[in-house]
Structure 1
């Protein structure tokens, strides 16, 4: 089993949640999800995703559509359903925003702040006692939670 693919156990847990969220029409849904996870895990360009997962543009279109619908947040909430909250750990990481990542000004909040070092965002993550994520938030770089 490659480390770039989901186990059958994980997929059997994900599939009902995806169907509940209205994602079931894709012919190669598992490979699409694996391709998106590969891109998120490695940080590679969309065009550099191995063709095994499907066409890069199709993967990007699915990712973009699902992101706009909030599918990943809903999926995350479903999977973090029963956390072990005997202990909760929180951490935050600053990420510098690439100069081309700003885009044009819009009404939509993009969670980008300006600091001395440039434009930054901050990822806040809380995990349970087992290290499983239970909540995350992306804010502008100079925000303290």
Structure 2
């Protein structure tokens, strides 16, 4: 039997949430979920999924259906319980898109763009003060962090401080953060005439927490390199990986 990720304790916790999402408790449910996690971890084509997880096409159809109906995103949101919102950290990370993710139907959203690295996507992530993901979005790799930031910040729960790097230097974004009742901790660019006298550099040093989340997510090879053709399926993969970080909490 291939290596699995879920202990009996973690599976029971996850199963309860999946049933609340309207996912049927079939006898093969655990094998199906482990098969999805296996593919997420090793990045193999669906057709190369070990037979121990059942028919590869059945496992893929479950994953595709749950992504389409946003059930995987719902599982992630259900696992985000009592986050520490004193500090919120936001950042973006580029993901190289493999050539196998081409060929999606033209009417389906892909969130793949052209950048210096070729075909890429970008994950825009927000984490809490404990370094756990609380929200994310996916765009093409050419989308600047500052352009997606207003949508990301608008979806965040109210926190005390929102911390980001110089790529988010925007007075409009600072105003949006203040309107949410939070304090922006964003350094201004070196050519700014206003300077950084008001910056809390001690808090800014903890920005590595969001970088740590990207490092942990990219242990999953299907996230470190994007193979999914559709945006919704790639988001589903990220949601499962983020949910797995919350599962032991």
Of residues 88-97 and 6-15 in structure 1, the stretch that sits farther from structure 2 once superposed is 88-97
Partner of 2:49: 49
Which runs of 5 or more residues in structure 1 are unaligned?
none
Deviation of 1:29 after TM superposition, in Å, equals 0.6
Q: Distance in 2 between matches of 1:129 and 1:3?
A: 32
Structure with bigger RCO (C-alpha 8 Å, 6+ apart): 2
Q: Distance in 2 between matches of 1:104 and 1:38?
A: 23
* Structure 1 residues 105 and 55: CA distance shift in structure 2, 3 A: closer
| TM-score between both structures, scaled by the size of structure 2 | 0.52
How large is the RMSD of aligned CA atoms in angstroms?
2.1
Partner of 1:98: 98
Which runs of 5 or more residues in structure 2 are unaligned?
150-249
* Structure 1 residues 88 and 21: CA distance shift in structure 2, 3 A: same
Compare CA radii of gyration and give the structure with the larger one: 2
Decide which structure has greater helix share: 2
After superposition, the C-alpha distances for 1:54-74 in whole angstroms (9 at most, x for unaligned) are 221211111111111111111
Partner of 2:109: 109
After superposition, the C-alpha distances for 1:51-110 in whole angstroms (9 at most, x for unaligned) are 222221211111111111111111111111321223333332212223342325623322
Q: Does 1:79 align with 2:79?
A: yes
Partner of 1:138: 138
Do the aligned partners of 2:104 and 2:110 also contact (CA within 8 Å) in 1? no
Partner of 2:26: 26
Q: How many residues align?
A: 144
| TM-score between both structures, scaled by the size of structure 1 | 0.85
